[in-house]
């Protein structure tokens, strides 16, 4: 149920077309809630049908023109209700951990190579998050609650990447070389 709420959040931040929304997703919300181009367009249709968003009128009608969407009061109310709702944490799903468990049963040729690859990817993501923090959230610009909330979301991503870097480094050290 969270994809429509992610879309409502993004549209409340800035009315956008489906394509712009997809691009913005890749640069922000997509770091912690991914969605394909097709999923976003399908959800836009559902949100419009439910009366939560509407396509803004085009200044000059043209065939094939992209639609830009904005959130209606019913969409804002839905998002507010969702924010206030209580929700239990979901169990983590990590294919790498499942593969390691399977390797304990059937053997794991190439597992260390995959662990090193994941380590490199998590280090890269951590560096990207730290660069975003440095650029967008210097300590002297976190005055408003929305800024602090956005920064806390980013800090969650930074902390998760630090966890994975530390855990993978430790796992590789414990497993030793092949």
134 — pLDDT class (breaks 50, 70, 90): very high
Average pLDDT of the segment spanning 109-127? 95
Picking from 159, 169, 30, 160, the residue whose alpha carbon sits closest to that of residue 92 is 160
DSSP 26-94: HHTGGGTS---HHHHHHHHHHHHHTTSEEEPPPSS--TTPPPEEEE-HHHHHHHHHHHHS--PPPPP--
Q: Cβ distance 114 to 96 under 8 Å? A: yes
With a cut of 80, say whether residue 6 has pLDDT above it: yes
pTM of the model: 0.81
pLDDT of residue 127: 97
User: How far apart are alpha carbons 22 and 36 in whole angstroms?
Assistant: 8
DSSP class of residue 14 equals S
pLDDT, greater one: 23 or 73: 73
Distance of CA 44 to CAs 27, 36, 66, 128, 166, Å? 19, 12, 13, 29, 39
Distance of CA 34 to CAs 3, 21, 60, 141, 163, Å? 9, 12, 33, 28, 20
User: How far apart are alpha carbons 29 and 93 in whole angstroms?
Assistant: 19
Give the pLDDT confidence of 136-168 residue by residue, as tens digits.
898 887 788 988 999 999 999 999 999 999 999
Give the pLDDT confidence of 65-106 residue by residue, as tens digits.
678 899 999 999 999 999 999 989 888 888 999 999 999 999
Angle made by CA atoms 110, 115, 116, in degrees to the nearest 5: 100
49 — pLDDT class (breaks 50, 70, 90): very high
């Amino acid at each position: 149920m969270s994809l429509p709420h992610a879309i409502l959040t993004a549209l409340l931040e800035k009315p956008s077309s489906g394509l712009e929304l997809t691009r913005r997703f890749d640069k922000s919300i997509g770091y912690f809630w991914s969605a394909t181009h097709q999923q976003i367009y399908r959800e836009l249709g559902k949100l419009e049908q439910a009366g939560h968003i509407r396509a803004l009128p085009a200044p000059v009608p043209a065939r094939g023109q992209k639609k830009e969407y904005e959130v209606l009061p019913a969409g804002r109310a839905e998002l507010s209700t969702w924010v206030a709702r209580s929700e239990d944490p979901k169990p983590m799903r990590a294919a790498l951990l499942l593969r390691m468990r399977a390797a304990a049963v059937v053997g794991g040729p190439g597992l260390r190579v995959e662990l090193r690859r994941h380590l490199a990817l998590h280090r890269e993501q951590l560096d990207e998050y730290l660069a975003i923090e440095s650029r967008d959230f210097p300590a002297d610009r976190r005055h408003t609650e929305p800024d602090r909330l956005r920064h806390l979301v980013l800090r969650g991503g930074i902390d998760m990447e630090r966890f994975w870097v530390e855990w993978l480094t430790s796992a590789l050290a414990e497993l030793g070389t092949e």
